[in-house]
Structure 1
């Protein structure tokens, strides 16, 4: 019966849409009559996986392909009365379209003829077809799902009427008209418009090979730590700058994995993929396992690089794919967001003595990278500390190289050094500066510029420089507060206060105006990178 057919299609459609269409995307169902549209809505509501809405013409308007006078069908009249009521048709349609564009709860609209032409909504990612469509009308319908959107690479056509053969004929006829120079027909208009799913999933072997080519030379591909070592950050000095030599390789990996996941997603939606004898069950299992393994690797590498992404396009794209098709993988959610950095962590991850040698070396390299970045990028507000810790880093690296056969000792060495860097603890910086980072930086200026402070001096003499550092800190803070809208005024205020103060100090300590000016310029540079940094941009 026709009603049973609609019920079965509605169940299939709802399951496909819920399992395969990302939550930020939407869909459209084109059916052959108003009565069919109402029945589809009824059965989709019974399944209850998402909200849908109907857009159609009034009962007294011919629409679709039915021979029955729909004005005499009470079900259509009742639906119109209950859902449109006293509104005008235009107001009702406009309201549904606005919700479809803006309301994430409304996922699917059901149409007969309306909106199959001229309706452009980039979120529309799939068109379910259960009505005859030919030639220009068919091309117009396809255009409803091929608009660009950040969350989709293609639109899907799901055919319940067997019309895709007509699509091939329509495209061929379009080419013929273009070749005959008939006005209004240009081959560029339909280039790449449509391809069978088989065309897409047959790219899987090449994409799979390209993905694994990134890890060429890895002896054991099942060892996540060996794969991780290929991608984790490695900072080396090139032309006086610290650069991450694995940055491009990671970018290539992210791109290759995203392409592979997108292709596998298409394949696993296609019955033809499971019937295609050019793919064995072993092939399909290998592709799924690769996605599972390298998605875990991707999460690990994102954590290594310090990325704090809670949600991104790849995670949304692959979430349902993993949950439905790949056993043993679940994307953990927290408040509706994907906590990527915490995925895959185990209790033993915080127990270095239980790690394998490969993991221990990876974690050591990771600390080395983190420390290098901290020194290079986070110490712009303390030139002395940056210079001192850079020298210490070189010594730690040398010491670690002598401990090559003892990876756990290497790890502990770098871990201790990381704590020292994070707290900016240096032997010649008095403990009174703990928690006073900017005052410590000003004290560092004295260490860099004044030879006297680096020589033997009494506690009382050293206290003078400590007090001066805190005094400068107060002057800078006051200037920042009082001139927060004008950096030039802020710097003028600092110079005005510091010049007489440093001139007076110089007379007692044995340095002149030139040295005082040098100290002031360094204080200004620290202020720009530290206390006044919030004014940037």
Structure 2
């Protein structure tokens, strides 16, 4: 009947593991209604699975191994011994247990678990008791000589204290922003967090802690009896806003954004306040290397970012890309790194009427870096992007050469001729490429190059080939 109710509600995937003896008392027409329901259910399951034993093994295996499978296992006189599922997080006790049976049941949720992919780490279990088992816990623990009565007090969790802990979580989130007059001004929050790395890290952890505590409270059976609807709505709206502020701040600082471990919790916590689609967006990972995805978030009016905040976020994201790719083309990425630093200085002192133009400038730098495009490459070499880093970074060695483009093209061809699988880590390929380039420069380039310069050119070309190995 529990399963029928859960299936009717549709929010939780559940299964029942029950002994066949629970439905074997008397003929069908003499059984109480609930016994008849159990008997009919088991008969249907036996038909589907072939046997109840086969069904139980399959359900238990799915529960243990599949994070997207059964979420709630309803057990009647089963699985008290020999059952080990570290992901067990909440135990609901709907009947009284005593002594070893009570301790074995509690042990089901007392293990830590690193968490499945996209799921939060389990640091503690939760027991929801509907049958006054707390009174039996002392006598059960007294079976052991080293029993400490304080353990019971520490293990018991009342709803009022957990609501207070949740209120404290919200207080911790609000406290750093007490001086912000307009609580709807996302930019004010972002600017404050961007300027203080220590405060930013604490805020990020405080948001995660609030999600965890809110989820814990939501699992308590009388939580919704003790919190009125207006308060609950207020907390949901406030948590949604803090999650958005955290996400926007991380993007503005070019930090990886990944709420996947809290995706399920966010969706369930905010299900009365936001749509499933909005919860999906809140928890969605943002790929900082994907300019289109990044810009979609930045330009979304619902995030409330000013032109200055948008420009700051775009430049921070672009700087991150430059940092990751800098060695592939130091001349190109060094140039745009300098341009971005100058633009950031301008943004700090810019008048409001100038911000739109500076935002467009930031977008142009972002686009150039993302597309790896600049105006310094000659037309006849522009289509061959493999040659671009060589053209830029070897230019200083050939200041007076009229056929520099041909030299670059020939050096790239020499490298391509020696290309084999994993060429960048093979010393024999390195030696051959450097020798080929040196021979070419000695024999065919009409330029007064010293032996040291030729050696440096060959080594620079090899290093560029290694850094850009995926382009060959």
Fold shared per TM-score above 0.5: yes
Post-superposition CA distance 1:186-211 (Å, at most 9, x none)? 67987854422333222122211211
State whether residues 361 and 407 of structure 1, in contact with CA within 8 Å, keep that contact through their aligned partners in structure 2.
yes
Partner of 2:453: 515
Across the two proteins, how many residue pairs are aligned to each other?
450
Structure 2: distance between partners of 1:424 and 1:55: 59
Partner of 1:101: 64
Partner of 2:203: 253
Match of 2:388 among 440, 446, 464: 440
**Residues 411/385 of structure 1: CA separation in 2 closer, same or farther (3 Å cut):** same
Partner of 1:157: 127
Flag structure 2 segments of 5+ consecutive residues without an equivalent.
29-35, 287-291
What SS class does the counterpart of residue 378 from structure 1 fall into?
Answer: helix
Partner of 2:463: 525
What SS class does the counterpart of residue 124 from structure 1 fall into?
Answer: coil
Match of 1:478 among 412, 417, 422: 417
Give the TM-score normalised by the residue count of structure 1: 0.70
Identify, as 1 or 2, the structure richer in helix. 2
Match of 1:319 among 233, 256, 267: 267
State whether residues 116 and 140 of structure 1, in contact with CA within 8 Å, keep that contact through their aligned partners in structure 2.
yes
Structure 2: distance between partners of 1:410 and 1:294: 28
Match of 1:140 among 104, 109, 112: 104
**Residues 118/215 of structure 1: CA separation in 2 closer, same or farther (3 Å cut):** farther
Structure 2: distance between partners of 1:155 and 1:519: 63
State whether residues 499 and 520 of structure 1, in contact with CA within 8 Å, keep that contact through their aligned partners in structure 2.
yes
Structure 1: distance between partners of 2:58 and 2:380: 66
State whether residues 251 and 313 of structure 2, in contact with CA within 8 Å, keep that contact through their aligned partners in structure 1.
no
Q: How does 1:3-152 map to 2 (within 5 A)?
A: 10=2, 41=3, 52-59=14-21, 70-74=24-28, 75=36, 82-84=44-46, 91-103=54-66, 104-149=68-113, 150=115, 151=120, 152=122
**Residues 415/482 of structure 1: CA separation in 2 closer, same or farther (3 Å cut):** closer
Post-superposition CA distance 1:302-330 (Å, at most 9, x none)? 54455676760222211122112x25785
- The structural deviation recorded for 1:435 is 4.3
Tell me, yes or no, if structure 1 residue 498 matches structure 2 residue 440: no
State whether residues 476 and 527 of structure 1, in contact with CA within 8 Å, keep that contact through their aligned partners in structure 2.
yes
Match of 2:318 among 365, 371, 376: 371
What SS class does the counterpart of residue 92 from structure 2 fall into?
Answer: strand
Partner of 2:169: 207
Structure 2: distance between partners of 1:343 and 1:264: 30
**Residues 429/43 of structure 1: CA separation in 2 closer, same or farther (3 Å cut):** closer
Structure 1: distance between partners of 2:111 and 2:187: 41
Tell me, yes or no, if structure 1 residue 287 matches structure 2 residue 226: no
Partner of 1:349: 299
| Cα RMSD after superposing both structures | 4.1
Structure 2: distance between partners of 1:486 and 1:172: 65
State whether residues 225 and 359 of structure 1, in contact with CA within 8 Å, keep that contact through their aligned partners in structure 2.
yes
Partner of 2:32: none
Flag structure 1 segments of 5+ consecutive residues without an equivalent.
1-6, 11-40, 64-68, 233-244, 454-460
Tell me, yes or no, if structure 1 residue 465 matches structure 2 residue 404: yes
- The structural deviation recorded for 1:514 is 0.9
- The structural deviation recorded for 1:256 is 0.8
Post-superposition CA distance 1:234-257 (Å, at most 9, x none)? xxxxxxxxxxx6555443222211
Tell me, yes or no, if structure 1 residue 195 matches structure 2 residue 160: no
**Residues 268/130 of structure 1: CA separation in 2 closer, same or farther (3 Å cut):** closer
Structure 1: distance between partners of 2:174 and 2:60: 45
Structure 2: distance between partners of 1:45 and 1:416: 53
What SS class does the counterpart of residue 278 from structure 2 fall into?
Answer: coil
Partner of 1:385: 332
Structure 2: distance between partners of 1:43 and 1:388: 64
**Residues 289/329 of structure 1: CA separation in 2 closer, same or farther (3 Å cut):** farther
- The structural deviation recorded for 1:264 is 2.2
- The structural deviation recorded for 1:47 is 5.8
- The structural deviation recorded for 1:381 is 0.9
Give the TM-score normalised by the residue count of structure 2: 0.79
Structure 1: distance between partners of 2:8 and 2:230: 38
- The structural deviation recorded for 1:522 is 1.0
- The structural deviation recorded for 1:488 is 1.6
Structure 2: distance between partners of 1:377 and 1:51: 43
- The structural deviation recorded for 1:222 is 1.9
What SS class does the counterpart of residue 502 from structure 1 fall into?
Answer: helix
Q: How does 1:230-309 map to 2 (within 5 A)?
A: 230-231=192-193, 248-270=198-220, 272-273=222-223, 276=226, 283-304=231-252
Structure 1: distance between partners of 2:340 and 2:4: 69
- The structural deviation recorded for 1:136 is 3.2
Match of 1:449 among 381, 397, 404: 397
Structure 1: distance between partners of 2:307 and 2:45: 65
Structure 2: distance between partners of 1:79 and 1:374: 58
What SS class does the counterpart of residue 331 from structure 1 fall into?
Answer: helix
- The structural deviation recorded for 1:43 is 5.6
State whether residues 93 and 129 of structure 2, in contact with CA within 8 Å, keep that contact through their aligned partners in structure 1.
yes
Structure 2: distance between partners of 1:402 and 1:305: 19
Structure 2: distance between partners of 1:216 and 1:501: 68
